[in-house]
Amino acid sequence: MIPDWVAEFVGIPWKVRGRDREGADCWGLVRIALMEHYGIVVPSYDESYDDLHDGEWITALLRQGILSDGWHPVTDPREGDGVVLRIIGPLELHVGLVVAPGLFLHTMEKYGGSAVERLDHPMWAHRILGYYRHPEVSV
């Protein structure tokens, strides 16, 4: 079951380097949800890359940012955890937020906006690289 609070984050338009409700990329959406629902402020990183074709830089940024900001890997994902996914080859180009068991909130350019999807869906199940928990997330 999807928690009621998630509905207010579904349908936010997709925008490269977007960091607000006018438009967000995948990290921007996670950032918005963490800030508005959990009261957690994480770095923006919006000036750290030019576009989404800069895959190696984004991969390094996700890995460095998540780990340096105190996120730690978990094997028991729960609401509020980040999920890092592989989109193209070995590159960690995508991140979402676990909102309920087996469900995550994310956004992609091809979708045009944010949505909730199943983590066990054939599109995503084989792309999951790991789950991470921010030290301030408590549910």
pLDDT on residue 77:
95
Please report the sign of the dihedral spanned by the C-alpha atoms of residue 30, residue 34, residue 35, residue 36. positive
**Beta bridge partner(s), residue 95:** 84
Cα separation, 83 vs 97, whole angstroms: 6
Mean pLDDT of the 121-126 span: 95
Q: Where are the domains of the chain?
A: 4-133
Higher pLDDT, 49 or 66: 66
Asked whether residue 80 carries a pLDDT value surpassing 60, the answer given is yes
Instruction: Name the band, by pLDDT with cuts 50, 70 and 90, for residue 89.
Output: low
Residue with tokens 């729960």: 78
Which region among 42-46, 51-55, 83-87, 129-133 has the lowest average model confidence (pLDDT)? Answer: 51-55
The confidence score (pLDDT) of residue 118 equals 98
Between 69 and 1, the higher pLDDT residue: 1
4-133 is a CATH 3.90.1720.10 domain: yes
- 15, 25 contact by CB (below 8 A): yes
What residues are paired with 88 via a beta bridge? Answer: 91
Q: How crowded is residue 76: how many other Cβ atoms within 10 Å of its Cβ?
A: 7
Quote the CA–CA distance of 10 and 114 in Å, as a whole number.
5
Nearest to 82 by CA among 65, 61, 102, 96: 96
Q: pTM for the whole thing?
A: 0.86
| Identity of the residue numbered 96 | G
Q: Is the pLDDT of residue 12 over 70?
A: yes
pLDDT in tens, 47-65: 655 555 554 555 555 566 5
**pLDDT value, residue 111:** 86
